[in-house]
Amino acid sequence: MVPGVMQEHSQPEALSLYDRLLARGWRMTAQRRAVSRALDGEHLHLTADEVFARAQALLPEVSLATIYNTLNDLVAMGELREIAAARGPARYDPNMAPHHHLMCVDCGAIRDVDLAPADLDLRPEPGHGFELLAVDVTLRGRCPACADDA
Ligand SMILES: [Zn+2]
Ligand SMILES: [Zn+2]
């Protein structure tokens, strides 16, 4: 067990993306259902192509354009986090609880880490007058599988 890594069921009250969307009364078309079901799970950080593949398994006629539109809508609604990866395409994360990311520099695996908020308060300096809106911390390392290969 890795200290700090979120354990399964650590937040029993946390609803899946699909249940959150139902709860807020989002009009659930077959396409939207496939996309939100594709984003069901823990430690999920999928690229748009990966969401597409998973959604297609549920709804073969879903299009990549629909995937992109729905992902953008969900990000704008605050129901999905877009993570800009240092390399490669953006990834989409349905876990809206505050958390940071642990990323493997070799295989790109990403785990959610539930750390105390880092000491990143910018007031009054050195904030350069910026209003702080969000903090995204990525801790880089090597996952156990990649460390075994080294
Ligand atoms: Zn790895
Ligand atoms: Zn995450």
pLDDT digits (tens, 9 = 90+) for 36-56: 999 998 889 999 999 999 999
- Indicate which ligand has the atom closest to the C-alpha of 114: 2
The rounded distance, in Å, linking the Cα atoms of 70 and 38 is 12
**Are 140 and 103 within 8 A, CB to CB?**
yes
Letter for the amino acid at 9? H
The tokens 């629909």 sit on which residue?
66
Q: What is the pLDDT of residue 25?
A: 95
From ligand 2's centre to the CA of 97, what distance in Å?
9
- Indicate which ligand has the atom closest to the C-alpha of 92: 2
Q: What is the pLDDT of residue 98?
A: 81
For the chain, what percentages of helix, strand and coil (3-state, to nearest 5) are there? 30, 15, 55
Q: Nearest to residue 97, comparing CAs of 24, 3, 12?
A: 12
Identify which has the larger pLDDT, 76 or 131: 76
The tokens 């192509």 sit on which residue?
49
- In which band, very low, low, confident or very high, does the pLDDT at 133 lie, cut at 50, 70 and 90? confident
Q: Nearest to residue 35, comparing CAs of 110, 92, 84?
A: 92
**Are 32 and 21 within 8 A, CB to CB?**
yes
Quick one: DSSP state of residue 102? E
- Indicate which ligand has the atom closest to the C-alpha of 100: 2
Identify which has the larger pLDDT, 86 or 65: 65
Give the pLDDT confidence of 1-40 residue by residue, as tens digits.
444 454 444 444 578 999 999 999 999 999 999 999 999 9
Mean pLDDT, the chain, as a whole number? 84
The rounded distance, in Å, linking the Cα atoms of 128 and 122 is 8
The rounded distance, in Å, linking the Cα atoms of 17 and 62 is 19
Q: What is the pLDDT of residue 23?
A: 94
Q: What is the pLDDT of residue 141?
A: 93
From ligand 2's centre to the CA of 83, what distance in Å?
8
Is the per-residue pLDDT at 96 higher than 70? Answer: yes
